[in-house]
Every structure is written in C-alpha cells, then in structure tokens.
C-alpha cells in the first residue's frame, strides 16, 4: 500500500480513537503526499477528514479556511458547478455545528465519487484541442 494511503488510514484510525492531534498530523501528511503526486480526488477526500479533525480540536476558523482553500482548488481543477455549490456549503455547516452531526462529510464524499471527472491537472484542454486540430 502506498505511503499516502497508509498515512490516510492512520489518520482515520487516530480520528476514531479521539487522538485528534495525531489524526490531524497524519491526515495533513497524507494530503500533502496526494497533492505531490497529483491524486487530487484522494486529496479532496482526505480534506474532509482533516476538517473533521480540526472541528474536534475546536479549531473552527482553521477548518473553514481549509474548506475555502479546497473550494478554490476544486474550481481550478474544473469540477462542475453542482459540486462547487455543495462544497461551498461546508463553511456554513461547520459554523452551525452541523458538519459532523449531519454526516455532511459522507454526503459530499458520495457526491464526489459519482461526479468526479478525472482529468490531468494543469492541462488546458481547449488549447490542446486547438493544437491537435491544426
């Protein structure tokens, strides 16, 4: 099993064991590793766990900022408007204390699994299409 998946699993184990500092550290390492190898889908799912760990640590402003930064990345990666609107609701769910209580993370993860359209990062599909037509 690749390192980033082991770190993610370890972070989830720490999260369920209420060891939130260790969970946050492992999940952040997993996220950085996923981003480093351009596994954006997995990095996005790890972000949901990172947000949960931050909420348990009562670092609410940091959790909201993390969600906002990821929303910008999702937009840059070309995700559709429905996904961006759903992701945009995370901040409000965190503020109102509903992110964990309502299982918001699981609903977003399920939506992403169905709607994620993989494409290479940093690729201008329009420019590439024009170049191949010439």
Full set of structural domains in the chain with CATH: 3-133 (1.25.40)
Give the tokens for residue 67.
């969600």
Query: Would you give the end-to-end CA distance of the chain in angstroms?
Result: 43
E-only strand ranges, the chain: none
- Taking the C-alpha atoms of residue 107 and residue 123, their distance in angstroms, rounded to an integer, is 29
pTM of the model: 0.85
pLDDT per residue of the chain (134 residues) written in tens, 0 to 9:
788 899 999 999 999 999 999 999 999 999 999 999 999 999 999 999 999 999 999 999 999 999 999 999 999 988 889 999 999 999 999 999 999 999 999 999 999 999 887 655 555 545 544 444 44
């Amino acid at each position: 099993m690749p390192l980033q998946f082991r770190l993610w699993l370890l972070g989830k184990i720490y999260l369920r064991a209420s060891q939130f500092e260790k969970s946050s550290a492992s999940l952040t390492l997993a996220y950085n590793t996923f981003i480093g190898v351009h596994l954006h889908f997995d990095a996005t799912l790890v972000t949901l766990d990172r947000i949960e760990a931050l909420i348990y640590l009562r670092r609410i402003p940091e959790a909201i900022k993390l969600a906002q930064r990821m929303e910008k990345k999702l937009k840059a990666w070309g995700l559709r408007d429905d996904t961006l609107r759903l992701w945009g609701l995370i901040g409000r769910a965190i503020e109102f204390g509903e992110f964990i209580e309502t299982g918001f993370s699981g609903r977003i993860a399920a939506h992403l699994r169905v709607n994620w359209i993989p494409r290479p990062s940093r690729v201008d599909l329009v420019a590439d299409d024009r170049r191949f037509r010439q």
